[in-house]
Structure 1
Amino acid sequence: MKALIETIVSALVDYPEDVQVTERDDDGRTVYSLSVNKADMGKVIGKQGRIAKAIRTVVYAAGSSQHKKIYLEISE
């Protein structure tokens, strides 16, 4: 799942080397925290959050096939 997020986001940003995804487990759910360069934050979020929502949709769909609750946080 971590590789999926990195692959999607790296294709969108100008600084793919700054893309970092960390994983942690909280109360039976997996939380992925995505960190990108400040200059790329707008590209990851998109207008009115559309790109962020699309990334989350893909990640949640991939997680549902594994019967896991997955959340994606986007931070600077």
Structure 2
Amino acid sequence: MKELIESIVTALVDHPEDVEVTSKEEENRITYYLSVNKEDMGKVIGKQGRVAKAIRTVVYAAGSSQQKKIYLEISE
């Protein structure tokens, strides 16, 4: 899942070397934390959050086979 997020986001940003994905696994959920360069935040979020919503939709669909709920947090 981490590789999927990285491959989607690195194609969108100007500074792909600053893309970092970490994960935190809990009892019934997995949270992925996406960190990008400050200059690339607008590209990852998109107008009215459309790009971020699309990324989350793909990640949630890919993780639907798992028994745990998946969350994606985007930060600087």
1:25 CA displacement: 1.1
Q: Any residues of structure 2 matched to 1:1-76 within 5 Å, and which?
A: 1-76=1-76
Distance 1:68 1:52 in 2: 21
Runs of 4+ in 1 over 6 A off after TM superposition: none
Compare the two structures and name the one with the higher helix fraction.
Answer: 1
Count residues in correspondence.
76
Q: Percent identity?
A: 78
Q: Taking structure 2 as the reference length, what is the TM-score of the superposition?
A: 0.96
What's the C-alpha RMSD, in Å, of the aligned pairs? 0.8
Distance in 2 (alpha carbons) for counterparts of 1:27 and 1:68: 8
Listed as ranges, the gaps of 5+ residues in structure 1 are none
Instruction: Render the CA deviation track for 1:36-64: whole Å, top value 9, x for unaligned.
Output: 00000000000000000000000000000
State the TM-score, normalizing by the size of structure 1: 0.96
Which deviations, in whole Å up to 9, do the C-alpha atoms of 1:1-30 show, x marking residues without a partner?
Answer: 000000000000000000000000133100
